[in-house]
Amino acid sequence: MEFPILSLMLAVPLVAAIACLFLGAHSARMVALFATLFDLALGVLLWLNFDIGGAQWQFVERAEIFAGFSYALGIDGIALMLIMLSVFLMPICILASWDAITKRVGEYMAAFLLMEVLMIGVFAAQDMFLFYIFFEAGLIPMYLIIGVWGGDNRIYASYKFFLYTLLGSVLMLIAMMWMVNEAGTTDIPTLLNYDFSPQAQTWLWLAFFASFAVKMPMWPVHTWLPDAHVQAPTAGSVILAGVLLKLGGYGFIRFSLPMFPEASAQFAWLVFALSMVAVIYTSLVALVQHDMKKLIAYSSVAHMAIVTAGLFAFNVQGIEGAMMVMLGHGLVSGALFLCVGVIYDRLHTREIDRYGGLSINMPKYALFFLLFTMASIGLPGTSNFVGEFLALAGLYKVSTLVTLVCTTGIILGAAYMLYLYRRVAFGEQRNADAARMPDLNAREWLMLAPIAAATLWMGVYPESFLAPMRQDIAALEVRMARAAPEGDSQLRVGEPMERNANFVAAAHDAEGAH
């Protein structure tokens, strides 16, 4: 029997979470930091031992300790990358809350550690109901994080977050029960290759879509996100944007696309339409925001729309691109929220107008902020460029129009991000208190530098991240091939002309005679 590394990754933060409930502020912080760092080390170990090109499902564990479902864990390359993202962001979240959270620290750290358990569980679950339990359980700690440690309007935001996502998810449970009843197994790898009848697929797809579209979030069910982001404490926003939004995309890749390929093709137009609206609409909304966090929240919706469009392109580039956007966005939007958090901790406001000219008194901060702004726009050399380029290239094979609209969204993205950066970092120092703010301290360096390095790594050498996923995405494409839609480019292979285009009959002779 193999060493149960996935279970260990679940157990470490779980034990630490329980311990934190009983500890004082300082020791709770230390325990949380060590537990998350230990999990990060385990994650690195997981990645190093992941056999690229080996079996599809690795580190498989299975124990029949429950009735009706099993405790089955295992990961493929896609899950591996998302688990890495989670364990990478977690210690940074703990650091971000180091000084900002002063009340009920033990409970706060416990909630975050519990969140980590559940996120790893979602990505590692190989049993449908186990997946659902992890997926849904995340509501509880997040509700508490927003509600107890959030901003002024935190209660409204926490209710909205909880009820919105719960309503989205419950129908998925019924769909899962139907599938299990039909296929006679709860095992995800088996269900991946089970062919449901196309009529049933339509309903099942819609039920899953209701859940994932809310989590993603897609327009028009995105409205919980700006509220939740704005009210959550900095680290809460990082986790929301960094990992929780990825649950929706992961759900599409793991369930909707491979299990219901026909229905996915049938509803691709819907996804495209919603994505197009989202890209343009939320980008325009982001342009007029006065609240930094809200602006970044809307930009998240726009980026996620590119993910959904890329996923439903039904080809390798589209899906690889979507995955890369998810990973890149996880890092970059997380980092942007951290950047907001850094100045929020100093001035306690998120109003853009209250800042200005920060590059004068906080040059190091301005540099990091610039890097992440550029990464968010998708500048070549940063993580998001790779993902967006691949996703749009894949999308172009299917639909010119959708690609055109989504690309416009990227231009708008450049507009709102550069506009934000100009107002915050450049120009005159309009506010005396903002001008007095000190530059980054060592703790903030420790938070931002690793994300910056990862962003550049992903931009310069994306192969490290694509390689583990390649085989799984290829398998996914094969699975969906029978339903893949025709491209709208109407490519025709032309007849070659007899002569070169610059051939001029008369001149040719004359020149020859010369």
Which residue ranges make up the site for another protein (CB under 8 A)?
A: 21, 65-68, 104, 107, 129, 132-134, 136-137, 139-140, 143-144, 147-148, 154-155, 158-159, 162-163, 166-167, 170-171, 173-174, 177-178, 181
In whole angstroms, the minimum distance from the beta carbon of 133 to another protein comes to 4
- Contact 253/323 with Cβ under 8 angstroms? yes
Question: In the Cβ-directed half-sphere of 390, how many Cα atoms lie within 13 Å?
Answer: 25
Tell me whether residue 231 or residue 300 sits nearer to another protein (CB atom): 231
In whole angstroms, the minimum distance from the beta carbon of 315 to another protein comes to 34
CA quadruple 333, 283, 366, 381: dihedral sign: positive
d(CA 113, CA 141): 9
Tell me whether residue 104 or residue 479 sits nearer to another protein (CB atom): 104
Tell me whether residue 107 or residue 227 sits nearer to another protein (CB atom): 107
Question: In the Cβ-directed half-sphere of 257, how many Cα atoms lie within 13 Å?
Answer: 31
Tell me whether residue 139 or residue 284 sits nearer to another protein (CB atom): 139
In whole angstroms, the minimum distance from the beta carbon of 136 to another protein comes to 5
Closest to 431 (Cα-Cα) out of 340, 348, 336? 348
In whole angstroms, the minimum distance from the beta carbon of 24 to another protein comes to 13
Q: Which residues touch 138 (CB under 8 Å, ≥6 apart)? A: 115, 118, 119, 122, 244, 247
In whole angstroms, the minimum distance from the beta carbon of 229 to another protein comes to 18
Tell me whether residue 255 or residue 368 sits nearer to another protein (CB atom): 255
Neighbour-count burial of 284, counting CB atoms closer than 10 A to its CB (0-12 exposed, 13-18 middle, 19+ buried): middle
In whole angstroms, the minimum distance from the beta carbon of 211 to another protein comes to 12
In whole angstroms, the minimum distance from the beta carbon of 457 to another protein comes to 35
Tell me whether residue 177 or residue 475 sits nearer to another protein (CB atom): 177
d(CA 387, CA 324): 4
d(CA 334, CA 324): 15
In whole angstroms, the minimum distance from the beta carbon of 264 to another protein comes to 21
Hey, how many other C-beta atoms are within 10 angstroms of the C-beta on 501? 5
d(CA 465, CA 480): 23
Token digits for 396? 């172009």
In whole angstroms, the minimum distance from the beta carbon of 214 to another protein comes to 12
Tell me whether residue 186 or residue 317 sits nearer to another protein (CB atom): 186
Tell me whether residue 68 or residue 438 sits nearer to another protein (CB atom): 68
Tell me whether residue 138 or residue 310 sits nearer to another protein (CB atom): 138
- Is 62 strand, coil or helix? strand
In whole angstroms, the minimum distance from the beta carbon of 294 to another protein comes to 22
Rounded to the nearest 10°, the torsion over CA 309, 311, 316, 317 is 40
Q: Report the greatest alpha carbon distance in the chain.
A: 98
DSSP string of 264-288, one letter each residue? HHHTHHHHHHHHHHHHHHHHHHHHT
Tell me whether residue 113 or residue 452 sits nearer to another protein (CB atom): 113
- Contact 133/70 with Cβ under 8 angstroms? no
Q: Which residues touch 393 (CB under 8 Å, ≥6 apart)? A: 317, 318, 321
Tell me whether residue 152 or residue 428 sits nearer to another protein (CB atom): 152
Tell me whether residue 133 or residue 284 sits nearer to another protein (CB atom): 133
In whole angstroms, the minimum distance from the beta carbon of 174 to another protein comes to 5
In whole angstroms, the minimum distance from the beta carbon of 61 to another protein comes to 16
Q: Which secondary-structure segment (H or E) carries 60? A: strand 58-63
Residue type, 148: V
Rounded to the nearest 10°, the torsion over CA 59, 64, 67, 68 is 40
- Is 187 strand, coil or helix? strand
Tell me whether residue 118 or residue 225 sits nearer to another protein (CB atom): 118
Q: Which secondary-structure segment (H or E) carries 176? A: helix 154-183
In whole angstroms, the minimum distance from the beta carbon of 277 to another protein comes to 26
